[in-house]
Chains A and B, each alone.
Chain A
Amino acid sequence: MTLDRRHFLACGLAAFASCAPLRAQERKRIAAVDWAAAESLQALGLPPMAVSDTRYFNLRMPRALPAQTQDIGPFWEINLELLDRLRPEVIFVGAPSLFMTPRLAEIAPVETVAEVTGEHSYERAAAILRQCAHAAAVADSAADAVLADIERRMAQLAARVNRDRPVCVLLPDQGGRRAMIYGRNSVPDAVLTRLGLTNAWQGPTNASGFFQTGLDALMALEDAVFVQIEIPTLSLQTEKALSESALWHRLPPVRKKRVVRIGQFYPFGGCLTTLHLAETLTAALAKPGSTP
């Protein structure tokens, strides 16, 4: 069911975007180092011709890149010679890349995209989409239309989601001793808020909205549902470590079998990531395991 819905949504957005009044020869040659920008451009129907770390992008982001997309290396070490040969007209980067490799600016004009994590994370994702539309010389109305479509989807999901309990989105480490929790200022927290859910973790977080802690800190979240993030390559180890972790089995949500799982997502992603996360969260919370 979920897969169908997501598929439908992706097709719908793509179909919508392809209606945008843009012919191939008018398109700018765009390279994207920053993934939030890359997926915003995807949502606008303008997939960049070059993206950093395409293999991992395709593993981790909601929508795969076209096959001909050029890999220009990891975002912290862009292959500048290769990128220069591709003759991009604009390069989308996050602030860190420009700090690490200032010479990017010698290749083409650089569009610096703000970070999506921080206060008003949800609005930030929309702002990134608008910025991308502007820099890619797309009419603002196109961005508005994409955002309106996403909002409509979000509203549908919010009307349907199971809101019985506060939700804690967490990623256990491979030792079964610690967990990374997504709290205030993170993308998952923004999505929870948009869906009308309560984030069970109201404690401190770092600048990106994470909190790395021992499992003991989770003991206080008695009413919560745990949404456990599963990273496919690591799930074998994590499962084994958790099964041997005495404290994990004594956490109230685990004891009462209120643990649901979602796949991995990119915690610094843009609009498509938020929508995808909202969908997976809604689907996961609807499972029978999530209510006692």
Chain B
Amino acid sequence: MTTVLAAAPRPLAGTVWTILLGLAATILSLQGLAGRPDPAVLFYSLLPRIVAALVAGFALGLSGAVFQRAFSNPLAEPGLLGISGGVMLALAASLIFAPALWTHGYQLVALGGAGLALAVVLAVAWGPRLSSPVLVLAGVMANLYCAAAYAVLVLFNHDFLVNLLAWQAGSLQQSGWAPSLRLIAEVTAATAILLLLERPLRLLSLGDGGAASLGLSVRRIKLMLLVAASVLAAVVTAEFGQIGFIGLAAPALARSLWRQAQPGLLRAAITGALLLLFTDQLMRLLSLVAGDLPVGAAAGLLTGPLLIVLARRNRSQSEAAPTPSPSLSPGRQARGPVLIAALALALIAVFLFGLFYGRGPEGFGFATAADLDIALKWRLPPLLGASGAGFCLALAGLILQRLLRNPLASPDVLGVSHGAGFAMALAFLVLPDSGLGAKLVITTFGAGAALLLVAGFGRRLQFEPTRMLLIGTGLGSTANALLVLALASGGQRGAALLGWFSGITGGIDLASALAACTVGGLCLTATLFYARPIDLIALGNPAASSLGVPIGRTRLAGLGLAALATAAGTVVVGPMSFIGLMVPHFTLLLGFRKTASAAIAGGLIGALMMAASEWLGRGPARAWAPSPRLLAAPLGGPWFLWQLRRGGREF
């Protein structure tokens, strides 16, 4: 307790900075009020929009601060426990299957979806201590699962295609007071509960064991905190859609403004309110020429660079290690070689089956001799490409999670897939007729540029994990925001781009597919070469350097490998996080500890899942083939949650 209190110096600087931020936001708001004389617009649009931004920002900042402290992870954000995905899926499903339900109270539908997702996550993680790593993994899994199911719903119901972007983007545009007033009531209630729980939250950050020894019922407190913070995120999402980044950036900014490792919850909340107001008013100014720019997506334009700056500035908190990687925990006995052989056999079986069994001219069946040409021509490249991409992404995720010692690190965390996606979007909108083969070159170039940027920012920081994650997330959110802006001018091309983002493999040619497989093979070889230093770094820097591991160089090599593998995978299946994020945890649950064996097993699992998804996508639907990226999460998700539930106690 005393240490916590002692760590609260220099409140003055924090106050000054907060006031400055508030002043900037106020000036922008006043510009809007001064320029528009029409009283109806003023009262029903401008004023409620300011209130909405303040309340939503407050809620997201508060919720983000609670999550980051409860999990001691700077990447934790309000939607973490399946909330954002649950809300989105519930709203879309009710719109399509039960519009009456939606009409009579979409807020209830949204809360129901959030509640369901949260219940699943808690059920998976339920145990004597409500273990944080299991909670986080189950939450991320639930979000990915819901997002994939949502995308499938949208792809099969075009009228909602426009809403896909609108919802994911989150706009604070207002036309009355009802949403803001509703939100104020909800946020006030949840905030009261969270502020009452602030003291126990501080004790929680001593670690689960430490808090328990002080006589705290860790499970009950954690449950109450997470539920209240999740409700905050859910009500904001229900009203305004997904407003990302604020929940991530506001606590980080508050830490920096107040020069505290753990500023009070209220400080983070107020920072969030001002940050969102400032961003949204900036978007309002831009919207006069560019059309309504959803602040949720565009927030990345500001918060991205902000995260990068914060990561580079704050040396003091840099050594605060994130949650230890679950790789340190003991587990079931590894039956290494046997399991790897079984996985390889399964991959070959699925591959051959996918190649020869499918829908021919007379319905389902094995390809006949006459049919073989067509089957090989159209089924081989996608299968090969999907397998290779799965292999690459799984490998990239594995390397990143071990090197950065963060179980939430995935290939898109480095900003590499966003870089590829952004380059793709730009090329698509600027030179749409470039056609053949250009796709591969452009995405590789984008991924490479993102990697150079990350490496450039990270070099002076010795590629220190926590900050690399912030830099990667920052770059990713900036690229994502630019992408949304590019899509806003898209129309028909925007829809085609969405297709790429949903991960098309059908159009891939044999050369690109073979390229992905080759890159996967090369990266695996290199990983095996670096396996021992990576193993040691995963144990912690002191241990590694005492054993003579050159930490900076190993990290650089590892990050380079991961980026290369990510680029190869992203080019084929589009940006996807499921494989890279989850497969490394699969391999752990299966008992693979050493980097060498885990890399082989992880790559095989990734390839197996993508090959199976690819076949399944092309099998049942007559003409419509949901891309393997969309199917991978629904296919692998439940199995993963079940494994997590079984193996959770070992974390």
Chain A interfacial positions (CB closer than 8 Å to B):
53, 56, 70-82, 84-85, 94-106, 112, 115, 117, 173-178, 180, 204, 206-208, 210-216, 219, 231, 233-234, 236-237, 240, 244-248, 250, 267-268
> In the complex the two chains form, is A247's CB within 8 Å of B44's CB?
yes
> In the complex the two chains form, is A212's CB within 8 Å of B103's CB?
no
> In the complex the two chains form, is A214's CB within 8 Å of B102's CB?
no
User: Shortest distance in angstroms between A251's beta carbon and chain B's nearest beta carbon?
Assistant: 8
Q: What residues on B are CB-neighbors of A73 within 8 Å?
A: 623-625
Interface centre among A73, A210, A216 (most CB of B within 10 A): A216
Interface centre among B175, B291, B434, B435 (most CB of A within 10 A): B175
Tell me, in angstroms, the Cα distance from A244 to B103 when the chains sit together: 12
> In the complex the two chains form, is A208's CB within 8 Å of B491's CB?
yes
Q: What residues on B are CB-neighbors of A240 within 8 Å?
A: 103
Q: Which of A78, A206, A234 contacts B159 (CB 8 A)?
A: A234
Q: What residues on B are CB-neighbors of A71 within 8 Å?
A: 622-624
Q: Which of B378, B489, B506 contacts A206 (CB 8 A)?
A: B489
Chain B interfacial positions (CB closer than 8 Å to A):
36, 38, 40-41, 44-46, 95, 99-100, 102-103, 155, 157-159, 162-163, 166, 171, 173-178, 287, 289-292, 358, 361, 374-375, 377-379, 428-429, 432-439, 488-493, 495-496, 498-500, 504, 506-509, 618, 622-625, 627
Interface centre among A80, A214, A231 (most CB of B within 10 A): A214
Give B503's nearest chain A residue, CB to CB: A77
Q: Which of B100, B377, B623 contacts A82 (CB 8 A)?
A: B623
> In the complex the two chains form, is B492's CB within 8 Å of A268's CB?
yes
Tell me, in angstroms, the Cα distance from A216 to B173 when the chains sit together: 9
Tell me, in angstroms, the Cα distance from A74 to B506 when the chains sit together: 12
> In the complex the two chains form, is A204's CB within 8 Å of B432's CB?
no
Tell me, in angstroms, the Cα distance from A292 to B507 when the chains sit together: 55
Q: What residues on B are CB-neighbors of A96 within 8 Å?
A: 428, 432, 492-493, 496
> In the complex the two chains form, is B291's CB within 8 Å of A212's CB?
yes
> In the complex the two chains form, is B435's CB within 8 Å of A208's CB?
no
Tell me, in angstroms, the Cα distance from A246 to B622 when the chains sit together: 46
Q: Chain A: interface secondary structure? A: mixed
Q: Which of B292, B490, B500, B624 contacts A208 (CB 8 A)?
A: B490
> In the complex the two chains form, is B40's CB within 8 Å of A233's CB?
no
Q: Which of B158, B171, B622 contacts A177 (CB 8 A)?
A: B171
> In the complex the two chains form, is B163's CB within 8 Å of A174's CB?
yes
Give A245's nearest chain B residue, CB to CB: B175
Tell me, in angstroms, the Cα distance from A104 to B436 when the chains sit together: 10
12 CB-based A-B contacts, threshold 8 Å: A73-B623, A76-B504, A77-B506, A80-B507, A96-B496, A101-B506, A102-B439, A102-B509, A214-B173, A216-B41, A246-B44, A247-B44
> In the complex the two chains form, is B432's CB within 8 Å of A99's CB?
yes
Tell me, in angstroms, the Cα distance from A213 to B175 when the chains sit together: 12
> In the complex the two chains form, is A99's CB within 8 Å of B439's CB?
yes
Known: A97-B496, A244-B178. A214 touches B623 (CB 8 A): no
Tell me, in angstroms, the Cα distance from A174 to B164 when the chains sit together: 12
Tell me, in angstroms, the Cα distance from A91 to B171 when the chains sit together: 40
Q: What residues on A are CB-neighbors of B437 within 8 Å?
A: 102
Known: A84-B377, A99-B434. A79 touches B504 (CB 8 A): no
User: Shortest distance in angstroms between B288's beta carbon and chain A's nearest beta carbon?
Assistant: 8
Tell me, in angstroms, the Cα distance from A174 to B160 when the chains sit together: 10
Q: What residues on A are CB-neighbors of B157 within 8 Å?
A: 233
Known: A96-B493, A96-B496, A236-B103. A216 touches B45 (CB 8 A): yes
User: Shortest distance in angstroms between B333's beta carbon and chain A's nearest beta carbon?
Assistant: 44
Known: A81-B379, A173-B166, A247-B45. A237 touches B99 (CB 8 A): yes
Interface centre among A77, A101, A213, A236 (most CB of B within 10 A): A77
4 tightest A-B CB contacts, nearest first: A76-B499, A208-B491, A101-B507, A246-B176
Tell me, in angstroms, the Cα distance from A268 to B79 when the chains sit together: 37
Tell me, in angstroms, the Cα distance from A8 to B506 when the chains sit together: 42
Known: A100-B504, A102-B436. A74 touches B499 (CB 8 A): yes
